[in-house]
Amino acid sequence: MTQNRFKSWALWLAVASLVVFCVKEFLKVDISETVNGLLNVLLPVLVAFGIVNNPTSANTL
């Protein structure tokens, strides 16, 4: 079952989103206000999607 989780694109998307969000917040990366607002909404949603995703079922997300 663990191998299925590591093959899941949603897991890797969530991990990448979490890394980008942490880098943006803790290192105070300077980006435009519009992009910053978009990332503040989009990145936590992608992380949550990766958490609730079920990689053991090919038919459902």
17 burial (CB, 10 Å; 0-12 / 13-18 / 19+) is: buried
| pLDDT (tens place) for every residue of the chain, 61 residues total | 556 667 778 888 888 988 988 888 898 877 888 888 888 899 999 888 887 877 666 566 5
Beta strands in 1-61 (DSSP E): none
Percent of the chain with pLDDT over 70: 79
Using alpha carbons, select from 15, 41, 40, 9 the residue that is nearest to residue 25.
40
